Structure 1
Amino acid sequence: MRIVVSTSSRTPIYEQIKTQVRASILSGEIAEGQFLPSLRQLAADLRVSSITVTRAYNDLEADGLIHGEHGRGFVVLPIDAQVASSALRTHVDDVLRELVAAARRARLSPPQVHDRLDEMWSHDE
């Protein structure tokens, strides 16, 4: 699991962590029964406060995606495939709305956006 946080983003760091871990769980990158990195380890890796990671993990637990096991850490719970697929599509829609808004501010036409998307898609393979 790779998590990237931006201190210059308007989105709080705990929310950035939560969103990225959620996407990793829903996509199956982190499997059911797998333990997440410890709070301290992830905080050290990301160079953030353990309180920040704790808040992200607690939110994920409240959402029913993970469960804290005393002395062992946080484990990924079973996720219904349809629920996961729907959540991922919703996330894509949200990101696309942001993309459209950014493209309009940059005065890019839909064909220009499509070209950029095609270019990025091919580089990501």
Structure 2
Amino acid sequence: GDLAGAALLLRQALAGLRATLGDQHPHTLSSINNLGELLDAQGDLDGAAPLLREALAVSRATLGDQHPDTLNSINNLGGLLQAQGDLAGAAPLYLEALAGRRVTLGDHHPSTLISISNLEELLQAQGD
């Protein structure tokens, strides 16, 4: 796919959403997170980091720690930190996402199972 073109469109959409709906609207948060994830997928970890941190901070403040969107943001930031080699920083985020998903979604929900897999991969990388 055309990741560069997709990033350009997401940046345009995000600018429009920020201007019309504000930084704390769920659609804006979703676009912030999506752009961060796209940049992460492109290997632009430095570009992705502030977006994923912003998405998490605003999600925590507006939606709460246990909201599924917040849990996704927690998980996504954990993945970014792992990709950057910050395994110690990723671990508590993965644990928080897993615990929250177990409570809100249940043990057998696909997002919970993804959290289990992410934590397993991290533990392997840590050598634990």
Normalised TM-score (structure 2): 0.26
Q: Higher strand fraction: Structure 1 or Structure 2? A: 1
* Bigger Cα Rg: 1
Q: Which has the higher helix share?
A: 2
Q: Which has the higher contact order (CA 8 A, sep 6+)?
A: 1
